[in-house]
Amino acid sequence: MVPEAEHEEAAAHTEGLDKEVARLIERESIERVNLTGALGRSPQIAIVGAAGSGKSTLLQWAGLATTRAFLKQKLSTEQKDFMKALGDKPLVPFLCPLRDFNRYCEVHKLNRTARSLLQFLSVHIAEQHPTLDLPEEFVESQLQQGCLLMFDGVDEVAPKDRMRVREAIEGPVAEFHAHDRDRYLATSRTVAYFGGAALAGFRKCTVLPLAPDDRDTLIHLWYHAVLPRDKATREAEDLCRRIGASNKRVQDLAVTPLMTTIFALVHSIFSKRWLVAVGFWRNTTACMVFTPTGPSGSSSRGAISLRSLEMKSSVTFYRST
């Protein structure tokens, strides 16, 4: 466990690699597990990592897998393993964006408590899915039966409010502790997850940088989500080869899902010109502000299908204090 005083420094990045993770890898004091393995050891997991490391996407993957299981839809092998880790009965997933919860409390002048958190979740679901017409007590009733409750973005809460938001999260966990079927996930950037923001009782998992094989798998998944199979394979292999042949600074950038996706987006639009350093950054900026569209006006590139969420997500698991 990194000492609390070192957390600010640990959140800085050198050559794209989180320093906390780099120190752990150097000391070989880590145990590599995926989300399924982590939840098999603790029902409450805090997923901590650098910006763009896929924390929020991992919650979306977990919610997607849980929803498919609840609806008795076909599951991938990895999704089946994940559901086994959650228990023998499918859980109802809830995703709570903590930034929106904090804003909700500010607007309505509410204290950040377990009760206001459950109230926000009911309002948030009603706003996102107005046709469902769910009862106000729906979230609480599901917590009594078993659910997967996911809190996204501790770091997106204003520093002055993080301790109160943390207490609001811990409230339902303590209140419904007797219902041992509930599972809890929370995400945060490393820089915010220390002191009063660290969740009591949550095992901390630090997201590892993408290994070259994982990076290449993500590139292939991305291309196969946006291009026909033959062309997707050809373009993906070209990009993987070019990154592998590039200098260390380029390779050290492609260690998070976000940066790898940006590489793929630039490569898909600007093809062979992307490796020119100045051109790469100019093209990246163009990609961020311009989305190509197909003949019907719908996006033809850049949009990633649900298949991209099948990417295996590895995290480091180690005991927190």
Residues 6+ apart with CB under 8 A from 186: 45, 46, 47, 150, 151, 152, 154, 169, 199, 202
Split the chain (321 residues) into runs of 10 and give each run's mean pLDDT. Answer: 33 44 57 87 92 92 92 91 86 94 95 93 89 83 87 95 94 73 92 90 91 94 90 93 90 91 87 48 47 40 41 45 39
DSSP 136: T
What is the secondary structure of 97-113 as a DSSP string? EHHHHHHHHHHTT----
Query: Which residues, listed in sequence order, are joined to residue 48 by a DSSP beta bridge?
Result: 188, 206
Q: Taking every pair of C-alpha atoms in the chain, what is the biggest distance, in angstroms?
A: 58
Q: Is the dihedral of CA 216, 220, 222, 223 positive or negative?
A: positive
| pLDDT of the residue at 216 | 96
CB 102 within 8 A of CB 161: yes
Q: Give pTM, 2 decimals.
A: 0.77
Give the pLDDT of residue 142. 84
Is 4-209+313-317 in CATH node 3.40.50?
yes
Q: What is residue 88's predicted lDDT score, i.e. its pLDDT? A: 73
Please give the backbone phi and psi of residue 94, each rounded to the nearest 5 degrees, phi first. -130, 135
Q: Which residues pair with 94 in a beta bridge?
A: 149
Q: Would you state the pLDDT for residue 240?
A: 94
Where along the chain do its domains lie? 4-209+313-317, 212-290
Rounded-to-integer distance, Cα 164 and Cα 192, Å: 14
